[in-house]
Structure 1
Amino acid sequence: MSSNALPEIAGYKPGTYNLDPSHSEVQFSVRHMMISKVRGTFGVKSATFVVPENPLETTVEASVDVTSINTSDENRDGHLRSADFFDTENHPTMDFRSTGVRYEGGEFLVDGDLTIRGITKPVTFDFDFGGFGTDPYGNYKAGATAKTVINREDFGLTWNAALETGGVLVGKDVTIELDLQGSRAAE
Structure 2
Amino acid sequence: MTIDIPGYRAGTWTLDPAHSEVTFSVRHMMISKVRGTFGVKSATIVAPENPLDATVSATVDVASIDTNDENRDAHLRSADFFDTEEHPTMEFVSTGTRIEGGDFFVDGDLSIRGVSKPVTFELEFGGFGQDPYGNYKAGASATTVINREDFGLTWNAALETGGVLVGKDVTITLDLQGSLQA
TM-score range, shorter chain: over 0.9
Structure 2 residue 172 is the aligned partner of structure 1 residue 176:
yes
* Matches of 2:158 and 2:101, distance apart in 1: 40
Helix, strand or coil at the partner of 2:87 = coil
Partner of 1:68: 64
Q: Which residue of 2 aligns with 1:21?
A: 17
Match of 1:112 in 2: 108
Query: Secondary structure of the equivalent of 1:177?
Result: strand
1:150 is aligned to: 146
Q: Which segment drifts farther, 154-163 or 101-110?
A: 101-110
1:19-39 deviations in Å (ceiling 9; x for gaps): 111011100000000000000
Q: Deviations over 1:41-92 (max 9, x none)?
A: 0011100001111111010000011100000000000000000000001101
Distance in 2 separating the partners of 1:138 and 1:56:
26
Correspondence 1:62-101 to 2 at 5 A: 62-101=58-97
Could you report, residue by residue, the CA deviation over 1:141-171 in whole angstroms, capped at 9, with x for unpaired residues?
A: 1111100000000000000000000000000
Distance 2:18 2:2 in 1: 34
**1:50 aligned onto 2:46:** yes
Q: CA RMSD in A?
A: 1.2
Opposite residue 47 of structure 1, the aligned amino acid is A
TM score, norm. by length of structure 2: 0.97
Runs of 4+ in 1 over 6 A off after TM superposition: none
CA distance in 2, matches of 1:62, 1:146: 13
The offset of 1:5, in angstroms, is 8.7
| Amino acid of the structure 2 residue aligned with 1:100 | G
- The percentage of counterpart residues that share the same residue type is 78
Measured against aligned partners, the alpha-carbon deviations of 1:93-123 in whole angstroms (never above 9, x if no partner) come to 0000000011001111100000000000000
State the alpha-carbon separation in 1 of the partners of residues 2 and 39 from structure 2: 35
Cα distance in 2 between the residues matched to 1:5 and 1:65: 35
2:117 alignment partner AA:
K
Q: Unpaired segments of 5 or more residues in structure 1?
A: none
Residue 31 of structure 2 corresponds to 35
TM-score by length of 1: 0.95
